[in-house]
Amino acid sequence: MDLEQEKNRWDETVAKPSVDKFKERKAEFLSPSGIPIPRVAVPGEFDYMEQLGFPGEYPFTRGVQPTMYRSRFWTMRQYAGFASAEESNKRYRYLLDQGQTGLSVAFDLPTQIGYDSDDPMSLGEVGKVGVSISSRRDMEVLFDQIPLDKVSTSMTINAPAAVLLAMYIAVGKKQGVDSKQLRGTIQNDILKEYVARGTYIFPPKPSLRLITDIFKYCETEVPNWNTISISGYHIREAGSTAVQEVAFTIADAIAYVQAAIDSGQQVDQFASQLSFFFAAHNDFLEEIAKFRAARRIWAQIMRDRFGAKDPKSWMLRFHTQTGGSTLTAQQPENNVVRVAIQAMAAIMGGTQSLHTNSMDEALWLPTEKSVRTALRTQQIIAYESGVADTIDPMAGSYVIEYLTDEISKRAMEYITRIDDLGGALSAIEKGYMQNEIQDSAYKFQKEVESKQNVVVGVNMFQVEEKRDLERMKVDPAIEKNQVAKLADLRKNRDNVKANELMAQLDVAARGSDNLMPLLVTCMENDVTLGEACGVLRKVWGEYQPPVWG
């Protein structure tokens, strides 16, 4: 009996009767992206070997490094930031003491959209969803006793990314650290803000100018810095499927690469400083396959579409965060299990760094204990599970390779469609990506409400619970203190120099010179975040989202 006959016999006599019973609980065997899951995957049903290759070699399906975690674990980088720079600094130093190997900064909403703490627009929001940073002096406090030549820092900042990077460089200089020694990442991904997150400031054209200015500046001045983290995370958190997350992220990346080329850069000059940021959700097999598919697609696009010659330009290096939207306020201790599954998927998928969410994030600012548990989750996987002992441990799994192929094909169909619409920016302006994400989010919510999708503790297996919501309050003194510090800065700085630099920034923004050197000088001379962004707002205006209908 050949393999196909044996599979048919197994299907009819063993698998099908059992599956028919199970279908009373599960209507369809589909991945969350709608990919049919085979009853049993067997060799010969799909051809993947020619695209598999070895780790560290094109097309990097199996990982971007030839040794992966056998030579070095992923960077364990917990995302943190709240209230004031002083409070956040304490949390960072605590996490570093607990074995964290990289910092990841969360900024409050005013900082994310370029307003100082004392701006009327900031009222009631200072320090609430991240740390409040209005000046270089705040940044100095944030990294007090943290040597910037020894730690890698990621900053989740987009519209004012150039200003925050300039502050970081200025703080490094104050510490005696040359900018060439700085290591880290700025998110700096404005297109996904237009699509999914909403913390934009400027229209697309000047926003892309700032991004390409950063590319050019960092190539020589901050060569170890990842100049952009092209983010699928927020696309996924907005409700996309895994396939859409890969497709829309890579479509945005194509737009950034083209913008840099159009600005006069050669692709191999900047491509190795690009990085990516993905979510890890609960469907273990699909998530692993998603990361492998993303690497393969990017390698092919960079080599064949953009003609990159340097193998480093073909590598998709990425950070992963476990899925915030998958955390439940109900039975929050269940989130420890969700995060562990998601973290394992990211690691088996070959991530370069990882943030694990804390179990109580759906309720309030995580406690030190819950943050420690989230970090320990990574450490247990690294040191106790054994999955890091071999490279790409899931390679050759028939179902993983099938899903990798399917995600690759379906994501490329989306990318082709976006190309037909004129590229990512045009697709965003037409509302295409936003509508696709909204449709997926709506479909998922309907499936949860109908219990077609089970969320443990939410639509099944519920229990009665009581919570102390007092923890959710933020001390109003934080905002008052930040406002007082800004008043003191403006009183004691050299205001003649600061005003002169702001006038120079106005002129430079109307021209075409790289803005980064001037922004670094501005930050060194205590021009604030809001003042710098205010100058650029006056010159460039603010982005107004299109109205569809």
pLDDT in the model for residue 25 = 46
Tens of pLDDT, residues 378-389: 999 999 999 999
The conformation of residue 385, written as its DSSP 8-state character, comes to S
pLDDT in the model for residue 479 = 94
pTM: predicted TM-score of the whole model, two decimal places? 0.92
Contact in structure between 23 and 16 (CB atoms under 8 Å): no
pLDDT in the model for residue 24 = 46
For residues 442 and 239, what is the distance between their CA atoms, to the nearest angstrom? 8
For residues 188 and 205, what is the distance between their CA atoms, to the nearest angstrom? 14
Residues 6+ apart with CB under 8 A from 187: 154, 155, 156, 157, 158, 161, 228, 229, 231, 277
- Tell me, yes or no, whether 484 lies in a domain: no
Contact in structure between 347 and 306 (CB atoms under 8 Å): no
Residue 455 exposed, middle or buried by CB count within 10 Å (0-12, 13-18, 19+): middle
The conformation of residue 359, written as its DSSP 8-state character, comes to T
Q: What is the 3-state secondary structure (H, E, C) of 196-254?
A: HHCCCCCCHHHHHHHHHHHHHHHHHHCCCEECEEEECHHHHHCCCCHHHHHHHHHHHHH
The three-class DSSP label of residue 63 is: coil
Residues of the chain with pLDDT under 50: 22, 24-25
Instruction: Residue 386: count other Cβ atoms within 10 Å of its Cβ.
Output: 10
Structural domain count of the chain: 1
- Tell me, yes or no, whether 545 lies in a domain: no
The three-class DSSP label of residue 442 is: helix
Residue 273: domain span: 49-83+185-464
Nearest to 382 by CA among 56, 74, 55: 74
Please give the order of strands across the beta sheet that includes 75-80: 225-226, 183-186, 152-155, 102-105, 75-80, 353-355, 318-322, 274-280, 228-231
318, containing H or E segment: strand 318-322
- Tell me, yes or no, whether 268 lies in a domain: yes
Structure tokens at 328: 């439940």
Rg (CA), the chain: 24
DSSP codes joined into one string, 152-169: EEEE---TTHHHHHHHHH
- Tell me, yes or no, whether 499 lies in a domain: no
For residues 276 and 316, what is the distance between their CA atoms, to the nearest angstrom? 7
For residues 108 and 15, what is the distance between their CA atoms, to the nearest angstrom? 53
Contact in structure between 26 and 54 (CB atoms under 8 Å): no
Structure tokens at 433: 């990506």
Dihedral over Cα of 112, 114, 118, 119: its sign: negative
275, containing H or E segment: strand 274-280
Contact in structure between 269 and 219 (CB atoms under 8 Å): yes
What CATH number is attached to the domain comprising 400? Answer: 3.20.20.240
